[in-house]
Amino acid sequence: VQLQASGGGLVQTGGSLRLSCAASGSIFSVNDMGWYRQAPGKQRELVAKITSGGSTTYADSVQGRFTISRDNIKRTVYLQMNSLKPEDTAVYYCNVMARIGYYSAIYDYWGQGTKVTVSS
């Protein structure tokens, strides 16, 4: 299973970015999909996640500014980031929990990371 993330970049405070992450490979089914981020010198933290049924969870720091969504046909998860702040600067990682077969356990997969920089 491979995850290909895109959409990071440099943006000014108050700007917007949209991250995408597509899962490919031998996937039987996709469960939760999510985004995490890691700022320099800090631990990786959950930004947002979405279940296969569409239920969402957000970190308090992004609630109301970020929106996570998914396209189950394309096996892609999106993160729309609005009203960006300098403290949102980090490397963003997509995460997918998926089965590779009918009797398979659920495995945890990570994308390569995409850098988001918000200038003040």
DSSP assignment of 62-106: TTTTEEEEEETTTTEEEEEE-S--GGG-EEEEEEEEEESSTTPPE
Q: What average pLDDT score do residues 19-26 get?
A: 96
Average per-residue pLDDT in the chain? 96
Is 17 within 8 Å of 89 (Cβ atoms)?
A: no
Is 93 within 8 Å of 108 (Cβ atoms)?
A: no
pLDDT value, residue 4: 95
Half-sphere exposure of 113 (CA within 13 A, CB side): 9
Per-residue confidence at 109, pLDDT binned at 50, 70, 90?
very high
pLDDT value, residue 31: 96
Is the model's pLDDT at 102 over the cut of 90? no
pLDDT in tens, 45-84: 999 999 999 999 999 999 999 999 999 999 999 999 999 9
- The C-alpha atoms of residue 57 and residue 74 are separated, in whole angstroms, by 21
pLDDT value, residue 79: 98
